[in-house]
Amino acid sequence: MRLLDLPIEVLELIFLQLDPFKIAKYRRVCRSFHTVLTCSPFSNLIGLVHIGHSREFCGDEDIFCFVTPACFGEDFLRRVQTETALSFEEFHPYSLKTLKVVPINPTNATSLLDCFPSEVDGPKKTFHLTGPLPSTIGCLKQLTSLDFGSVFNHNVLHRRVTQGANVNLKGHTVTGPIPSELGNLVNLKKLNLSNTSLDSSIPDSFGNLVNLEVLNISSAGLAGCIPASFGNLFNLVDLRLEYNNLSGNLPDIFGRMTKLQTLSLDRNHLDGPIPQSIGQCIQLTALYCDQNRFSGPIPESIFRLPLLQRVKFERNSIISESPQATPIVPLDSECITGITSRFPSVSVDLQSLKCNQLEGASIHDEASLLMTLDLSRNQLSGRLPNYVTSLTNLEYLNLKQNNLQGPLPTEIGRLSKLGSLYLERNELCGVIPDSITALANLTHLWLQNNKLSGRMPTEIGRLTSLVELNLSHNQLCGEIPDSVRSLCHLGGLDLSHNQLTGEIPPCVFMLSRVELLLLHNNSFVGSLHPDIGALTNLRKLDLSHNQLTGTVPESFLPQGLGELKLNHNQLSGPLPKISKWKSIRTLHLDHNQFSGQIPTHTSGLEYLQSLNLSHNQLSGPLPASMSRYQSIEGLDLSNNSFSGTLPCELLKNMTRIKKLDLSNNQFSGLVHDMLDTCSTLDLLDLSGNHFEGDLPERFRKQSADRPVIPFRWEAETETQPSVIGSEMSKLSE
């Protein structure tokens, strides 16, 4: 009798005595073979194939994939090798004809790692798992931990000796779909599929995993809805589904999750209301729901949770209202109006409602242990809430970019532990209370872009821990207090755009650590202090738009300076010897009364990008050394008395020049054809001189709606919005 003619029961007995993976290739010989090899018990088998290795930053990595008798074959393995090669820079596949399967016996395997070939043994060996998860993995019912999640998106798995029924196989090239049979692993306490490429929905069968304590499927390409069956997972401690494409309403599944401590749903497309049942997760410490599409009110019960420490709802469409509280506050992003809740008496990070639109929020005094409060970028209105000054354990307070009004309360001095205070971009008014100088731990004080007036606190020097002080864009007046000398840790000082008067006191130049000094747009008078050269860490100095007089001292500036603006003052005398500022990128000395010629030795300014000497009384020819400004993008020498011809080399080497303004001088001679090589120019202005000839052809075309000015050309560009802000303001974003 031929083998083909044997009954299926007999075939099954024969195949059980053989290697099912070796004979798997015969499943296509006839229907009976296929039936036997794709049904139980063969359908429950699972194996591992060593398909190749990769050379990564930490050495060679062996790469394996799962197989079953039903899928094992050259076509399947070739496809896995091809997909794996796309994820590794140096993948070296093994010959398909040499690949062997290491079977895993689902009846006694407690750790998949124990079944790996001997060549990956050793404490320094690493391996990586790739390819799809087989449905037969659901037969390993004794497993308590199944971990395929990548760490830091690295493709590296360190082999570890696992105890009991544990699996730890990490790798972000594990692919989907997620087999519903995973729901059979009812003994699992930990399931980690994070940083994989599953690209599928979550099976409803996951609701069977009633012993799960940790479920992490973050950054896995998930789509679809969160199954309502998750309501059965009442032992969950940690649930992370962030960074996916999950959508639809969040089901009301949290009523029995009294052990849940972390719930992370951020950066999905979830919408609809926030379930009330989250408020029953009495051990919850962290709730991340930011960057979704949630709408409706935030349940007040969430903010009554006794252990809650961090809450994030930024960038949603939340409207939170409570008729029981008096509206005091609001918050901003897509749409959040009104949060009224009793915040827990622990550290709550309300970076939470950042970028929403909350109106009418009130926070009660129960938050007396609160350490971090961030309601920034919202629409808070009215006075600074009284409860804030009673939060004596606050270390971080951020209410920037709201509509807060009225004076700063004198009680703010009670916040003795405060390290960072950000109240910028509001409508606060009145004087800065002297009590603020009691905040000895304060490192960052940002009050810019308000309507604060009066003098700076006389004893501001008591804030000896300050690293950044920004009081710009207010209406402060008077002189800079002498106590500033005590701010020995200060790295950034911005007092610009105020109404400060008097001379810049010498104490400012005793701040040896300062890197950013911005005093522009005030009414300072007097001469430049020579001691400023002692500020060896100074990188940016802006004293523009004041009433400073006199000359620039020889020892005025440190050599490491990157940006200097002295424009719009009344400075006079010769230009400083700028060649010693080797790192200078921006130099604006325009709108002063400087006279004489440009120093001849200016060739060391290889990083100079913007030079503005316009509106002075400078004269003479342009030095040939200026042709070495190879990084220059903007050169404005207009409204002076420069004369002579344009050096040919000046234009030849300025390959990045965008703005060249030499208008209203005494230049003469023929216009160089070399201008035609300046392909980056957006503005060329040679008008108001004694040039002969005409601009090159491409500079003669002008928009019909612009007046034609001889020797002047401007490129047609789309109007771009101007984004102007202080350097420290940029840091606050």
Q: What DSSP string runs through 485-510?
A: GG-TT--EEE--SSEEEEE--GGGGG
Residue-level pLDDT at 196? 87
pLDDT higher than threshold 70 for residue 10: no
The amino acid occupying position 483 is S
Residue-level pLDDT at 480? 97
- Non-local (6+) Cβ contacts of 218 within 8 A are 194, 195, 240, 241, 242, 243, 244, 264
Q: 3-state SS string over 657-678?
A: CCEEECCCCEEEEECCHHHHHC
Give the total residue count for the chain. Answer: 733
Residue-level pLDDT at 609? 94
Under the banding of pLDDT at 50, 70 and 90, the label for residue 342 is: very low
Quote the CA–CA distance of 394 and 438 in Å, as a whole number: 14
Return the structure tokens found at 642: 């420069």
Residue of 703 and 530 predicted with greater confidence: 530
Overall average pLDDT of the 465-488 stretch: 97
User: Over the stretch 123-171, which tens digit does the pLDDT of each residue have?
Assistant: 445 567 888 888 888 888 888 888 776 543 332 333 332 333 334 344 5
Q: Which of 5-14, 80-89, 223-232, 576-585 has the highest mean pLDDT?
A: 223-232
Q: Give the lowest-confidence range in 288-302, 531-545, 674-688.
A: 288-302
- CATH architecture group of domain 551-714: Alpha-Beta Horseshoe (3.80)
Distance of CA 187 to the CA centre of its chain: 39
Under the banding of pLDDT at 50, 70 and 90, the label for residue 86 is: confident
Residue of 280 and 141 predicted with greater confidence: 280
Q: 3-state SS string over 45-79?
A: CEEEEEEEEEEECCEEEEEEEEECCCCCCHHHHHH
DSSP for 459-478, please give it. Answer: TGGG-TT-SEEE--SSEEEE
Under the banding of pLDDT at 50, 70 and 90, the label for residue 365 is: very low
Under the banding of pLDDT at 50, 70 and 90, the label for residue 182 is: very high
Quote the CA–CA distance of 505 and 672 in Å, as a whole number: 49
> What is this structure's pTM?
0.69
Quote the CA–CA distance of 367 and 649 in Å, as a whole number: 69
Return the structure tokens found at 710: 């001889």
Q: Three-class SS of residue 135?
A: helix
Structural contact between residues 333 and 357, judged by C-beta atoms closer than 8 angstroms: yes
Report the b/e string of 696-726 with b at 16+ CB within 10 A: beebeeeeeeeeeeebbbbeeeeeeeeeeeb
Cβ of 353: how many Cβ atoms within 10 Å? 31
Return the structure tokens found at 34: 């296929």
Strands 427-430 and 451-454: parallel
Quote the CA–CA distance of 92 and 100 in Å, as a whole number: 16
Q: What percent of the chain has pLDDT over 70?
A: 75
Quote the CA–CA distance of 125 and 138 in Å, as a whole number: 28
Domain boundaries, given as residue ranges, for the chain: 3-39, 551-714
Structural contact between residues 268 and 246, judged by C-beta atoms closer than 8 angstroms: yes
Q: What percent of the chain has pLDDT over 90?
A: 42
Q: Give the lowest-confidence range in 454-468, 576-590, 718-732.
A: 718-732
Per the DSSP assignment, residues forming a β-bridge with 666 are 643
Return the structure tokens found at 527: 């001469």
